[in-house]
Amino acid sequence: MNLKFRRLLMATLAGGLLTGLTSVSYADSTTDLVQALISKGVLTEEEGALLMKGRTNEVEVQKKKESKSWTSRVNMRGYVQNRVTAMIGNDGDNPAHPVDLWSDRSVGTDDSINPDKNFLIRRARIIIFGDFGDHLSYYIQPDFASSASGTNNIAQLRDAYGDINIDKAKVHRVRVGQSKVPYGFENLQSSSNRLAMDRVDAMNSAVRDERDTGAFYYYTPENVQALFKEINDKGLKHSGNYGMVGVGLYNGQGANRSDVNDNYHVVARATYPWKTESGQIYEAGIQAYSGDYQPSAGAYRRTASASATTPGVFKDGVTTTKGIKDERVGVSFIMYPQPFGLQAEWNWGTTPGLDTAQNRIEEKHLQGGYVQAMYKIDNFQFLETNGTLIPFVKWQYFDGYNKAETNAPENHVNDWELGVEWQLAPEVEIMAEYHHMKRNNLVTGNLARAVDYQSFTADALRVQVQYNF
């Protein structure tokens, strides 16, 4: 068999092989195969070029066929948080001051509104997300562990929005739908990513469930996008990409609630991350919002012997739907844990608040925030695990009111948390903390017929197991 005939035979076989791979091969892998045959002397340069003729068009056609399938543009992930709490010490045993933590139903005493405080599924979320073309990114997140009328584990929508990407680099985008309102760092931080069990009252009271329905413009230069991605990829507890600058309009009443006073809230946030020569990453931000909020009024007990009363009136002395001034400004600073980290936020503002002496909801002032220190220990080995350990300590303070709770009750918080998060694998996290609570009980109708909205002091050991998938 002469050389020319052998080359012709090999070229024919290679051509047949490439033809058979048309539906599953990409241009780069095909090119690699042809180049390998050329380098081995099986094919000449001319024969290789002949085989590759038309391959680029074929691959492009195949890619277009695949892109027409909507399933190729759908991604899914999720997480589940399981909690259990043990009350410790003698604090919280006074039936006149029952313990309820409004953000976590697993925390409470025998005289609280829900005395059965054992295991709790705090969150169970499935996230559906992806890109559809160059100019639309979508995100849908239901939670299957919500509660309503005493029933737990009810599905409720958390996020449902689309990002309209003005440019392919996603420097300019407009988010429309129900999403997080860009106010604060911890508010924007995913619950699956946060260290402490709950967000602090001082910042979280700004927006019910951190979310609302509206439209938000985000500006994120490509270099900032790259740094945000680096922070996230390193597991440094980032808040996510909510723009270097963000502005927007939203209803103002909170997630899954309609507007009631035909008045938009307006919000603006600016944050800037930077990296020093040593590799340490910092971020600083400022945010503010303004609008009118319509609180809800309901029965509450002003004295232990009195029957429940209803405020029913607001600052102007009549039942109104116009709303009460609701505005804040806050600052944020983060030194990402490399390995030591600091995180702090503070805000000031005006909000609806209940004056129990006058039995009236009116304009009140508030202030508060938190400071958190943490230390990230990588390659923490235990048995056959090689994970990450992050001990932390957190102090929070709030002198204000929770506008989203019935009657917008007063809330004074001075809490300490000491805990540790163990990421034993990317799919499993275990977190435990000691929580010293000094705050107001925002839950009404306690079993002990105690005065509502009274302050309490209590200590708890709280544990959470989180599954990521």
Residue 431 has phi, psi (to 5 degrees) of -130, 135
Q: What is the mean pLDDT of residues 160-170?
A: 96
**DSSP conformation letters of 348-376:** EEEEEEEETTTTEEEEEEEEEEEEEEEE-
pLDDT tens profile 119-160: 899 999 999 999 998 999 999 999 998 877 667 888 999 999
Nearest to 289 by CA among 336, 235, 251, 243: 251
pLDDT at 312 over 80: no
Tell me which residue has tokens 């390659």.
379
Report the C-alpha gap between 161 and 178 in whole angstroms.
6
pLDDT tens profile 210-232: 999 999 999 999 999 999 999 99
Report the C-alpha gap between 261 and 295 in whole angstroms.
11
pLDDT at 19 over 50: no
What are the tokens at 109? Answer: 């005493």
pLDDT tens profile 314-344: 655 445 557 899 999 999 999 999 999 999 9
pLDDT at residue number 67: 57
Largest CA distance in the chain: 110
Report the C-alpha gap between 33 and 18 in whole angstroms.
9
pTM across the whole model: 0.83
pLDDT at residue number 111: 73
Alpha-carbon separation of residue 344 from 42, 92, 236, 374 (angstroms)? 66, 29, 15, 12
